[in-house]
Amino acid sequence: MSGLSVSVRRWLGLMAIALGVALIVVDTTIVNVITPSVIEDIGIDSSQAQWIQESYAIIFAALLLLVGRISDLRGARPVFILGVVIFGVTSLIAGAAPNGEVLILGRFLQGLGAALILPTSLSLLNRMFTGKARGQAFAIWGSTIGAATALGPVLGGWLSEHSSWRWAFGINIPLTILILILAMLFITPTPRTRGRVDGISASLSILGLGLLAFGLVEGRVYGWVTSQRAFELFGGTWDSGLSPAFIALVLAVILLVGFVWRQIIVSRGTGRHEPLMDVKLFSIASFRNGNIATLIIGLGEFGIIAVMPLWLQFTLDYTPLQAGLALVPIAVGSFVASGISFPLTAKVSPLGLVRLGLALEVVGLAGLGIVAAASDAQWWLIALVLFFYGIGVGFATSQVTNVVLADVPEEEGGQSSGIQSTFRQLGSALGIAALTTVFFSTLSSNLRDRLANAGLPADQVAKLSEAVSDSAGAVIEPLSNNPATASVADAAREAMTQALTFGSYLAAGFLVVGVIATFLIPNTRKAELQAGSEPAVADEMSTSQP
């Protein structure tokens, strides 16, 4: 393999990076379809089901800044490889989990591996590719995210029907082995920098981001301000007073304000510590405004995918595999965007592609809300709107990263990639938390109203609506099989449809704000990309591989 050209080696390295990103994205969305099977197999409730999704996203978001700093100090390639190893090992824990608690723990630990992979993948791409090739590499990277987002549910659905949901985690093992081989052979080592990790900054960021996500997830369960029920997490009790979710949100704000203040002080360079988030980078307009736009975009981009499989299975009676296949148009659209983006980069700036992608995502999500609200949601209409959504994801997800990192100095690659990944993942985590919270809250509230209007006693209304919400809709089928409760099942399906419709419109609204935010980003790289120039590959590209 030593006879391979530098160009071939770096594209094979890109394959390893893309597969690593696909691995962590698939494990974000594969859970959406296997959740009903997990609920039936190990008896979890809707809160635990949400935590199986969110535990992964929380630790993922919380560690990204720290990982960005570590990758600068230790080099991006070894950190990437370590992340792949951790992800493979913790997948075994998740796949063998005997109960919800162990599965949630496994997902937390998987999030650690994912946090090591994502920012280092960006840092490696930014270092390995330049000029026109960089735009193409980011297009492949972004399309991989879009495709993996949709292919995860297909894989989960097939495994749920033909094998076991546990294999949704077990299949990660051979993939991690393949990624490790490619990474060690073809990913170019990146230089290290001197310095140390600021422990205070790391603690503030991890605790602040973790508590923020916890408060958003548990607000619907325990109340947003005052406690609505006993606080039983980890065996404790909370009988009255302020909600633990409210306290978590207040503490999160305090800690994150403290984190920002710490970064401002450390960034002045007056002490021996160095920042996790160098505030000087935010003097670069494209980096500053691009990250703000990335955060807003993340709120609306993938949250609806977390709840859509529940609606497909429990309202439209899709099988897990059918629910997964229903999301394939997202992957198809994302691949189409990848193919189109190569010729378009010579004519349209990355920022222009971001705006085009977001516009298509808005069309897709608004269309989903319209189709879902129809009395008979046809599969081909669902496929059509998700196809447009997928094209949008393929354009926007890949090129927004290119825009954000365009003017950042190479020596700041690890830290800037960590910051950009944090904004992206924090937006996604908060978006999933917000959309699932809105979905289940709307479902419960709407179902209560429907049952009350039907004349059911208040105690039955509360019991039935809580059963539907806590089971994430899994009890709808048993209710429909009983003639005495068939009308309740119909009301639950209508309430779930209304919840999905509202969630679709809300997600589209977030993305509209994201489009507006992109007009604050300067279009600094348009001339270079239109010229189609590709500066010489950095010297380290020609160094021998280990």
- Average pLDDT for runs of 10 along the chain of length 546: 68 88 83 78 76 77 79 86 94 90 90 88 80 76 72 80 86 91 86 77 86 72 63 47 84 93 79 74 88 86 80 87 84 81 76 91 94 84 92 83 80 72 76 82 90 89 84 82 88 93 94 92 55 37 31
C-alpha 214/C-alpha 246 separation (Å) is 10
Look up residue 226 and give its DSSP letter: B
pLDDT of residue 270: 58
Burial class (CB in 10 A: 0-12, 13-18, 19+), 167: middle
Q: What is the pTM of this model?
A: 0.74
Residue 15 neighbours by CB distance under 10 Å: 17
The sign of the torsion formed by the CA atoms of 479, 480, 481, 487 equals positive
- Per the listing, tokens 């003639």 go with 483
Coil, strand or helix: which one is 242?
A: strand
Contact 197, 69 (CB under 8 A): yes
Residues 171, 53, 379, 390: what is their CA dihedral angle, to the nearest 10 degrees?
Answer: -80
Contact 535, 127 (CB under 8 A): no
User: Which CA distances in Å does 335 have to 125, 146, 392, 546?
Assistant: 19, 8, 11, 33
DSSP characters over 217-276: HHHHHH-SSB--S---GGG----SSB-HHHHHHHHHHHHHHHHHHHHHHHHTT-SS---S
| Close Cβ partners of 417 (under 8 Å, ≥ 6 residues apart) | 68, 71, 119, 120, 122, 123, 126, 405
pLDDT of residue 526: 42
pLDDT of residue 404: 86
Phi, psi torsion values for 242, nearest 5 degrees: -70, 145
pLDDT of residue 546: 29
C-alpha 188/C-alpha 90 separation (Å) is 26
Residue type, 450: R
Radius of gyration of the chain, Cα coordinates, nearest whole angstrom: 23
pLDDT of residue 220: 62
pLDDT of residue 8: 78
C-alpha 387/C-alpha 308 separation (Å) is 15
C-alpha 10/C-alpha 12 separation (Å) is 5
Helix (H), strand (E) at residue 143? helix 131-162
